[in-house]
């Protein structure tokens, strides 16, 4: 159930500390590279010796695909040894295998024949796999969560309403171990956002869809909920808020009843104010609890207490990420391209 005043309480509880000074200093270092032009060569800013156990010193970030309008929603399909990623404005999901180019996989990936005066992003956004290996799609243009058989490529709508009202434009997802689906529903897919004539919801919500089909509104006070993830023990829910005036990452205690104890894990206003490209967006949580999350300036590695470990930068937004290759690589969707970062054996993988 929605907890009234969660966001207000979190704002009041947040107190700046040493880590905020580190984030501010980091943003100042990165600021000269940011701008509206083409992305620069990816680089890694190492901010803690602890990062060396995750990524070996000297490791380079690889660019594996280019020429994308807006890369999003990466997911690694281990059974097929390939990466899928979305391009919401182009309405396509592409597939990439090692040694080859990125090729169309679903076209259209979302809703076909939409009116751009009403629908800003017709295609799929976030992607995930369910417990049986089927593809789940946050269908921004179709305003639904869809499921696709990866072999036959048959599609079905899983859910498109809460209490009889259409979702805004589902954005990102996390699948829990028991199959429960957590997802965000900002208005980004609607051309006029909150004032769109298509908008039926009074909130931009964070939802939970249980395996039995019951949908619950967990949080309805956020302006722009976006990326979403759970802690390894599934007792914490992380939600990024891509609000330009108050960019941040929220964390909640999570149980069967819902969420409570909302607090700001990372306040990204200073990073944005100093020129960091992008906003808090997609995220993943490593098996040791490390967060890998999109922030103004790039893709951040940080501890569960928001201590910065490293920042991957290109000078352009990096919207989302996914672990792949049995934990041997991190894939990042970075504006008009897709990146691959080799990871140390034994951190996410079994060795």
Q: What is the pLDDT of residue 313?
A: 97
Q: Is the pLDDT of residue 212 over 50?
A: yes
Strands 329-334 and 43-46: unpaired
User: Which of 57-61, 112-116, 159-163, 240-244 is the least confident region?
Assistant: 112-116
Residue 348 lies in a domain: no
Residue 1 lies in a domain: no
Q: Is the pLDDT of residue 70 over 90?
A: yes
Q: What is the pLDDT of residue 32?
A: 31
Q: Is the pLDDT of residue 286 over 80?
A: yes
Q: What share of the chain has pLDDT > 70, as a percent? A: 88
Question: Does the predicted model carry a pTM greater than 0.85?
Answer: yes
Q: Which domain holds residue 31?
A: 6-342
Residue 23: pLDDT band (50, 70, 90) is: low
pLDDT tens for 188-204 read 999 999 999 999 999 99
Q: Which residue has the tokens 């992607």?
A: 127
Q: What is the pLDDT of residue 18?
A: 46
CATH assignment of the domain containing 25: 2.120.10.30
Residue 132 lies in a domain: yes
Q: Is the pLDDT of residue 25 over 50?
A: no
Could you tell me if 329 and 341 are in contact, meaning their C-beta atoms sit under 8 angstroms apart? Answer: yes
Residue 139 lies in a domain: yes
Q: What is the pLDDT of residue 74?
A: 98
Q: Is the pLDDT of residue 133 over 70?
A: yes
- Within 13 Å of residue 2, how many CA atoms lie on the same side as its CB? 13
Count of domains for the chain: 1
Is residue 310 helix, strand or coil? strand
Could you tell me if 337 and 66 are in contact, meaning their C-beta atoms sit under 8 angstroms apart? Answer: yes
Could you tell me if 126 and 139 are in contact, meaning their C-beta atoms sit under 8 angstroms apart? Answer: no
How does DSSP assign 131-186, residue by residue? Answer: TTS-EEEEETTTTEEEEE-TTT--EEEEE-EETTEE-S----EEE-TTS-EEEEE-
The number of residues in the chain equals: 351
Q: What is the pLDDT of residue 40?
A: 80
For the chain, report the end-to-end CA distance as a whole number of angstroms: 41
* Interval 340-350 mean pLDDT: 89
Residue 2: pLDDT band (50, 70, 90) is: very low
């Amino acid at each position: 159930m929605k907890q009234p005043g969660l966001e207000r309480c979190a704002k009041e509880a947040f107190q700046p500390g040493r880590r905020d000074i580190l984030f501010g200093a980091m943003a100042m270092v990165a600021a000269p590279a940011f701008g509206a032009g083409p992305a620069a060569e990816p680089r890694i800013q190492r901010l803690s010796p602890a990062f060396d156990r995750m990524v070996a010193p000297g490791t380079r970030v690889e660019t594996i695909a280019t020429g994308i309008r807006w890369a999003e929603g990466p997911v690694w399909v281990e059974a097929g040894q390939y990466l899928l990623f979305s391009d919401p404005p182009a309405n396509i999901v592409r597939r990439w295998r090692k040694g080859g180019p990125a090729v169309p996989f679903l076209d259209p990936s979302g809703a076909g024949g939409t009116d751009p005066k009403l629908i800003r992003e017709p295609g799929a956004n976030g992607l995930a796999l369910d417990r049986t290996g089927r593809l789940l799609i946050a269908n921004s243009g179709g305003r639904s969560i869809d499921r696709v058989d990866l072999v036959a490529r048959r599609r079905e709508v899983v859910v498109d309403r809460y209490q009889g009202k259409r979702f805004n434009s589902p954005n990102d997802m996390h699948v829990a171990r028991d199959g429960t689906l957590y997802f965000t529903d900002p208005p980004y897919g609607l051309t006029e956002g909150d004032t769109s004539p298509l908008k039926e919801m009074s909130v931009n919500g964070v939802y939970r869809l249980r395996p039995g089909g019951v949908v619950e509104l967990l949080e309805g006070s956020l302006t722009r909920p976006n990326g979403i993830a759970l802690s390894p023990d599934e007792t914490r829910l992380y939600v990024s808020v891509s609000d330009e005036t108050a960019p941040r990452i929220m964390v909640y205690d999570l149980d069967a009843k819902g969420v409570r104890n909302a607090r700001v894990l990372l306040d990204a206003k200073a990073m944005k104010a100093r020129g960091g490209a992008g906003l808090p967006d997609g995220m993943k949580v490593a098996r040791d609890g490390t967060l890998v999350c999109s922030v103004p300036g790039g893709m951040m590695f940080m501890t569960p207490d928001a201590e910065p470990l490293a920042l991957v930068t290109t000078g352009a937004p990096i919207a989302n990420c996914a672990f792949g290759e049995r934990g041997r690589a991190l894939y990042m969707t970075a504006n008009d391209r897709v990146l691959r970062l080799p990871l140390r054996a034994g951190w996410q993988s079994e060795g």
